[in-house]
Each structure stands twice: as C-alpha cells, then as structure tokens.
Chain A
Amino acid sequence: GAGVSQSPSNKVTEKGKDVELRCDPISGHTALYWYRQSLGQGLEFLIYFQGNSAPDKSGLPSDRFSAERTGGSVSTLTIQRTQQEDSAVYLCASSSDSYEKLFFGSGTQLSVL
C-alpha cells in the first residue's frame, strides 16, 4: 500500500478483555516497529521485527503483551487481560533500511474502561 495502515483506528474495550491491533507495513519494508504513546507523552518502544531475525521484545511492558509478524508483512499486537493503564495510542512504523526514516501509521487509540 501507499502507507502504513493500522486497524482499528479506535478500540474501546472492557478491563480484562483481550484485544488485537493490526499493522500492515509499506510493501517491501523489512523492519516493523510498535510504539505506545500515552496522553501527552513521548513514544515508548514496544517491539521490533527485522526480516527473519528474532524480534526485539525488550520494550514489552509485561507478559500480557505479545506480537507476531506473519510472512514478513502484517503484524498483530495482542494485549491479553487489558488493564486501564493500557489505554494509549499504539503506533506502528516500518522502514526499508537501517538508516532509513520510520514511516508511521495513524495509530490505534485504545481505551480500556
């Protein structure tokens, strides 16, 4: 596609429910990143995929968070047993090269009630 696509754009869920957030990167981009942005805050790194290498999961805040990337393209971020502190905008980005800039999607606004 023309840009990084994320769905849904908004997600409201109840505490304790599981959610899945989807990211479709720019075609041909080998690197894919997930970030979280809480209200008025900077971007917090969550996880990073690069080609066929093992993902860098060092930013995942707890074992309730997981992500996978199928076929080197689409990625899904899963949050199990959501908590209110999980409420944030979840941003996905992709890039084509180690020195290339990141292209961001428009994000998924997650609200946990």
Chain B
Amino acid sequence: AQKITQTQPGMFVQEKEAVTLDCTYDTSDPSYGLFWYKQPSSGEMIFLIYQGSYDQQNATEGRYSLNFQKARKSANLVISASQLGDSAMYFCAMREGAGYSTLTFGKGTMLLVSP
C-alpha cells in the first residue's frame, strides 16, 4: 500500500480563492511527521508547512494551513487567497518514527491559478 496518497493529479483555482489539496497517509507508527513541499517550474523544492503527529493544533504558516484529521489519516493543505505565483506542483510527504529517517513523498498535485 502507498504510504502517501494524493488523489488529485491537477487542480484549478481562481486568483484570491482558497483551495484544498488532499493528502492521506498510511502508517502504524504513532510518531510521525507530515510535510508539504512546493515545486515550481524552476524545479526547486520549497518547504511550506509541517505537522507532527502529537501536535494538538493544526499547523499554519501565513496563507498555508494544514487540516490534520488524525483519525482519518488525512493532512490536507489549504491555501487561502491564491496567487498566480502559487501555480506549481505540491507534494505531501511523511517521516515515520521518532528517530532519523527519510521522507516518503506522494506523487504530487499540479495546481494552476488563473487570473
């Protein structure tokens, strides 16, 4: 089974509207971390937001927030007030366990923001 599932290959949103990018994960480890990265056409990977499995509140970073529903094993990214510069690929990723380990990435969602 895939550890990270992003079911939306592509999403369209109009400028200034909010958009939600879906991410579900699969782990039996009680300790894990969830990450969202943005990859514009330039190819660089830009960290957006992090949510720890024991965090009581949903993470927020400026216009980005993470809708963390632990029982459903979902970690959706919400972008408020979309901007043209938000057009990019968005990847959800998970790190399992309390020690050092690698990140497992989903296949990504392409977001296109229109004027």
The one of A43, A89, A99 that contacts B91, using a Cβ cutoff of 8 Å: A43
CB–CB A103/B47 < 8 A: yes
A42 to B105 CA separation, bound complex (whole angstroms): 7
A98 to B96 CA separation, bound complex (whole angstroms): 10
Minimum Cβ distance to chain B for residue A25 (Å)? 14
Question: Is B45 close to A, CB under 8 A?
Answer: yes
The total number of A-B Cβ pairs within 8 Å is 52
A89 to B108 CA separation, bound complex (whole angstroms): 16
Residue on A nearest B42 in the bound complex, by CB: A106
CB–CB A102/B47 < 8 A: yes
- CB neighbours (8 Å) of A56 from chain B are 102
- CB neighbours (8 Å) of A42 from chain B are 91, 105-108
Contact with B along A87-113 (1 / 0, CB 8 A): 001010100001101111011000000
Instruction: Count chain B CB atoms within 10 A of each CB in A31, A41, A101 and give the residue with the most.
Output: A101
- CB neighbours (8 Å) of A106 from chain B are 42-44
Question: Is B101 close to A, CB under 8 A?
Answer: yes
Assuming the contacts A91-B45, A106-B44, asked whether A45 and B104 have C-beta atoms less than 8 A apart, the reply is yes
CB–CB A31/B45 < 8 A: no
- CB neighbours (8 Å) of B98 from chain A are 98
Question: Is A33 close to B, CB under 8 A?
Answer: yes
CB–CB B100/A98 < 8 A: yes
Question: Is B35 close to A, CB under 8 A?
Answer: yes
